[in-house]
């Protein structure tokens, strides 16, 4: 778009000389500031191609300043401070208008008294099936206002603009799904009580190109599912690949229900992707496209710019290379927390393609429930309802019981049937016992965040040995406070990780690896490895950790006459990430650390000897150059009958757990009192807590007795412990 158009009703006049806005500038208001910020943001984010590089830089700066001013204005309660912010914002808005005044693609609209006509012979040229129209509507003296509109031609065909009766209005219309070749667009401007302004704009798209793409397996050379991002460099927005999977119907309208998955990955890997199950063939606007292809953490991602020429076919083949094959080392990846409905073969096929695209070997596909209902229905349970393709498995599980403000969320793997009884919903151990009776595994979700008060039920049931694993990694984050607290009390804790899609970005963005060694991979072998605690979690670095011959999850007896040999290794690849930090953690304290800033150093390793002392837990954790993280389940070293706990902190640690139990007791007492006084009589949580309260308090008291016994045990151990 190279020309500025001045349009009056009845006459279209080409304006070659830039005209001033004629606006009367005064103190701006918050809506005017918001309008200008939104317009600047839309221009720089989606239509920067319309401006020269110098103006792009200025627009970007103004966009940031205007948004900062808007945020400041919304937060301040001081009239004087607000006035100062608005004065500063006024200068930025004037600078924005100065850029818009020079824009050769703006259309200047003024009221007229003649019949409406079509625009001149030369239409507005768009870069593809998207673009923008910028109108400067001049309605006489008055304030200047900005607004942004979207027109999706798949939904409607006309531009409808609402303005005030007077003043100057800058209106940016973002166009999508514009039909091929020449299109006439009606524009209707309603300006209060004044007569409607109606005219037409003609837009034209270029001839499209055609893109054929296939992605091949590094092992077989055959087409394989992958995660793909296509970004048109003209407008910076991504496009859905031609055959990308739409998973939204299987997500029960929860979380982010879309096949466009915004992966929560480190560095430049973050952002939206689509799962592409096989080669695709599609039309695209001409120009340069940035292609990103991923196949999970074990493959080197592909970043490449390709060109699509108008009216031509462009063919590309990509083959992401593995930088590591953990299967050959006996480790198989899993995601313990995948929400997705599976009711038929089509559902299973779409999720299986997604899991294969992310190279996750076992996905725990969980039906979710609360006190009221369930989501993400499954067509069946148990081994006969697993979906298996080669060494990729979808296995049914559940996330239930889950309470948001009371006891936290639980998660279960390898279940034979759904376990849910709302009459005992707050008695989590009944589910743990039933799942174990089925041969399944039980754990806690979101432990890294201590979300939904999960520490409360952990304080009840972990000392009773009711659970098997806890999520310490999710949403590209790792949290170990609760993990370490329970370990430091001498309770074995297995580290796990789950994406929690559709709330998370994509399957396997964090993952748990289970060690099978030379045992052939099967779902049951994988679950058994998790049960034994032979795991580490990661979203990037690979980690190997041993004490003597023991692996994570193992317990070994220390011998005062023989020091322990500790070995740890973390590695990556320069095209993915390299390790920058390797730490050995014992009793929550870092006892060895190795760092590197070398961008080509692919491996860090530590090897040393240490005495068994009085026993302890010990684990390895690591960081990658892209911010990625990894952590192993501990190895447990014992000495005689001594507990492997952090002895000097026992009183403080037990006090925390007792405080959590007090919170549960207060919850029950408050619910019973509310019910007695008739408060919230229809609140189901209150009623169920009150009714199940006596049984829950029995469990609380059992846990208290365990902690009291631990305090006595600490006193008994005092004389047997060697000085540290």
Query: Do residue 335 and residue 429 come from a single domain?
Result: yes
* Beta strand 629-632 pairing with 535-538: antiparallel
pLDDT at residue 153 in the model: 95
Residue 31: how many other CB atoms lie within 10 Å? 11
Give residue 519's Cα distance to chain centre.
33
Query: Do residue 549 and residue 616 come from a single domain?
Result: yes
Query: Do residue 356 and residue 478 come from a single domain?
Result: yes
Please give the C-alpha separations between residue 435 and each of 453, 547, 705, in angstroms, as whole numbers. 22, 32, 25
Query: Do residue 615 and residue 679 come from a single domain?
Result: no
pLDDT at residue 724 in the model: 63
pLDDT at residue 350 in the model: 98
Of 204, 222, 237, the position where a domain reaches its end is 204
Residue 262: how many other CB atoms lie within 10 Å? 14
Query: Do residue 451 and residue 352 come from a single domain?
Result: yes
- Radius of gyration from C-alpha coordinates of the chain: 31
- CATH classification of the domain holding 394: 3.20.20.140
Query: Do residue 682 and residue 547 come from a single domain?
Result: no
Query: Do residue 124 and residue 228 come from a single domain?
Result: no
The dihedral over CA atoms of 111, 114, 115, 121, expressed in degrees to the nearest 10, equals -80
- Three-state DSSP state, 164: coil
pLDDT at residue 27 in the model: 62
Assess contact for 41 and 47: CB atoms under 8 A: no
Helix (H) or strand (E) holding 585: strand 579-586
- Three-state DSSP state, 655: helix
Of 297, 318, 339, the position where a domain reaches its end is 318
- Three-state DSSP state, 576: coil
| Cβ-based neighbours of 558, under 8 Å, separated by 6 or more | 564, 611, 612, 613, 615, 637, 638, 639
Query: Do residue 584 and residue 518 come from a single domain?
Result: no
Query: Do residue 48 and residue 195 come from a single domain?
Result: yes
Please give the C-alpha separations between residue 132 and each of 185, 197, 241, in angstroms, as whole numbers. 12, 20, 23
Of 273, 297, 318, the position where a domain reaches its end is 318
How many whole angstroms separate alpha carbon 61 and alpha carbon 44?
10
Pick out the chain residues at pLDDT < 70.
1-27, 113-121, 724
- CATH classification of the domain holding 632: 2.60.40.10
Query: Do residue 249 and residue 348 come from a single domain?
Result: no
How many whole angstroms separate alpha carbon 274 and alpha carbon 544?
32
Query: Do residue 546 and residue 583 come from a single domain?
Result: yes
| Cβ-based neighbours of 3, under 8 Å, separated by 6 or more | 14, 16, 104, 105, 122
Strand partners, 54: none
Assess contact for 446 and 689: CB atoms under 8 A: no
pLDDT at residue 374 in the model: 97
Q: Say how many domains are in the chain.
A: 5
How many whole angstroms separate alpha carbon 118 and alpha carbon 640?
93
Query: Do residue 544 and residue 593 come from a single domain?
Result: yes
The dihedral over CA atoms of 186, 192, 196, 202, expressed in degrees to the nearest 10, equals -20
Structure token digits, residue 25 = 């500038």
Residue 584, domain extent = 540-645
Which one, of 243, 222, 118, 235, lies nearest residue 176 by Cα?
A: 235
Assess contact for 586 and 509: CB atoms under 8 A: no
Name the DSSP letter for residue 286: S
- For tokens 């524009």, what's the residue? 187
Name the DSSP letter for residue 510: S
């Amino acid at each position: 778009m190279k020309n500025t158009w001045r349009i009056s009703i009845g006459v279209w006049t080409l304006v070659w000389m830039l005209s001033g806005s004629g606006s009367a500038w005064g103190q701006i208001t918050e809506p005017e500031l918001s309008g200008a910020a939104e317009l600047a943001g839309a221009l720089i984010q989606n239509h920067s191609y319309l401006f020269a590089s110098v103006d792009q830089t200025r627009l970007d700066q103004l966009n940031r300043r205007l948004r900062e001013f808007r945020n400041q204005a919304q937060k301040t309660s001081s009239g004087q401070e607000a006035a100062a912010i608005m004065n500063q914002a006024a200068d930025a808005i004037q600078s924005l208008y100065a850029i818009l005044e020079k824009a050769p693609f703006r259309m200047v609209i003024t009221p007229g008294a003649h019949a409406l006509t079509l625009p001149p012979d030369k239409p507005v040229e768009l870069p593809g099936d998207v673009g923008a129209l910028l109108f400067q509507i001049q309605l006489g003296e008055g304030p200047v206002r900005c607004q942004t509109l979207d027109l999706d031609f798949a939904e409607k065909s006309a531009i409808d603009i609402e303005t005030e009766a007077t003043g100057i209005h800058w209106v940016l219309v973002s166009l999508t799904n514009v039909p091929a070749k020449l299109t006439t667009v009606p524009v209707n401007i309603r300006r209060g009580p004044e007569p409607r302004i109606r005219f037409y704009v003609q837009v034209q798209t270029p001839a499209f190109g055609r893109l054929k793409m296939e992605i091949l397996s590094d092992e077989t050379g055959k087409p394989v599912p992958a995660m793909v991002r296509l970004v048109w460099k003209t407008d910076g927005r991504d496009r859905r690949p031609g055959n990308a999977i739409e998973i939204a119907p299987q997500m029960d309208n929860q979380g982010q229900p879309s096949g466009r998955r915004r992966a929560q990955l480190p560095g430049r890997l973050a952002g939206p992707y689509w799962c592409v199950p096989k080669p695709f063939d599609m039309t695209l606007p001409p120009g340069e496209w940035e292609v990103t292809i991923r196949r999970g953490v074990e493959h080197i991602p592909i970043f490449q710019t390709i060109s699509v020429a108008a009216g031509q076919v462009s063919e590309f083949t990509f083959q992401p290379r593995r930088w590591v094959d953990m299967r050959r080392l006996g480790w198989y990846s899993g995601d313990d927390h995948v929400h997705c409905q599976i009711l038929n073969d089509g559902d299973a096929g779409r999720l299986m393609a997604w899991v294969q695209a992310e190279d996750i070997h076992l996905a725990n596909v969980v039906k979710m429930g609360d006190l009221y209902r369930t989501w993400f229905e499954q067509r069946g349970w148990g081994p006969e309802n697993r979906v298996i393709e080669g060494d990729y498995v979808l296995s049914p599980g559940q996330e239930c019981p889950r309470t948001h403000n009371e006891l936290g969320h639980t998660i279960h793997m390898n279940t034979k049937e759904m376990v849910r009884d709302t009459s005992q919903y707050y008695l989590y151990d009944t589910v743990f016992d039933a799942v174990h009776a089925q041969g399944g595994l039980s754990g806690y979700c979101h432990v890294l965040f201590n979300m939904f008060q999960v520490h409360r039920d952990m304080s009840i049931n972990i000392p009773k040995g009711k659970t098997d694993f806890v999520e310490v990694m999710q949403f590209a984050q790792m949290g170990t406070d609760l993990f370490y607290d329970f370990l430091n009390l001498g309770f074995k804790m297995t580290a796990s990780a789950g994406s929690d899609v559709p709330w998370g970005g994509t399957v396997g963005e964090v993952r748990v690896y289970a060690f099978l060694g030379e045992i052939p991979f099967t779902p049951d072998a994988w679950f058994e490895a998790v049960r034994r605690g032979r795991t580490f979690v990661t979203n990037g670095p690979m980690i190997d950790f041993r004490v003597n011959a023991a692996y994570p999850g193992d317990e070994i007896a220390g011998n005062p006459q023989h020091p322990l040999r500790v070995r740890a290794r973390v590695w990556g690849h320069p095209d993915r990430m390299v390790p920058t930090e390797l730490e050995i953690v014992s009793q929550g304290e870092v006892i060895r650390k190795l760092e590197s800033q070398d961008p080509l150093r692919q491996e860090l390793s530590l090897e040393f000897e240490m005495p068994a002392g009085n026993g302890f837990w010990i684990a390895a954790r690591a960081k990658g150059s892209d911010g990625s993280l990894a952590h192993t389940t501990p190895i447990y070293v014992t000495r005689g009958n001594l507990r492997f706990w952090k002895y000097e902190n026992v009183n403080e640690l037990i006090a925390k757990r007792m405080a959590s139990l007090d919170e549960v007791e207060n919850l029950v007492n408050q619910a019973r009192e509310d019910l007695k006084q008739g408060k919230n009589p229809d609140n189901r949580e209150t009623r169920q807590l009150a009714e199940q309260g006596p049984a829950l308090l029995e469990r609380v008291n059992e846990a208290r007795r365990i902690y009291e016994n631990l305090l006595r045990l600490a006193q008994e151990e005092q004389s047997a412990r060697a000085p540290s």
